[in-house]
């Protein structure tokens, strides 16, 4: 019969031994992505969310192109006024 009562203590001892040998536990030596690519990815995500929020709150007569122009800041009064 095998006892599992001290498995937790054994795991802590293994961690302590590994740390004492200057080993890195479950970490990579360098970050997987550069900070610039992370920033650009974040901007894409925020921009996409902003577009979809504006699209969800648009008036029925507005088109998707009108929403895109408003989201990018290139809209004119023709794009923001209802068409009759």
Determine how many CB atoms are found less than 10 A away from the CB of residue 62.
19
Q: Please answer whether residues 29 and 21 qualify as being in contact, where contact means their C-beta atoms are separated by less than 8 angstroms.
A: no
Distance CA 81, CA 66 (A): 10
Q: What is the pLDDT of residue 58?
A: 81
Q: What is the pLDDT of residue 44?
A: 95
Return averaged pLDDT per consecutive 10 residues of the chain, 84 residues in all.
Answer: 55 60 62 84 94 85 85 82 67
């Amino acid at each position: 019969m095998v006892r599992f009562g001290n498995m937790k203590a054994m795991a802590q001892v293994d961690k302590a031994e590994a740390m004492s040998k200057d080993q890195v536990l479950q970490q990579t030596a360098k970050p997987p992505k550069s900070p610039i690519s992370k920033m650009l990815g974040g901007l894409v995500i925020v921009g996409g969310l902003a577009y979809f929020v504006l699209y969800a709150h648009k008036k029925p007569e507005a088109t998707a192109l009108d929403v895109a122009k408003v989201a990018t800041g290139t809209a004119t009064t023709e794009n923001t006024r209802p068409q009759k």
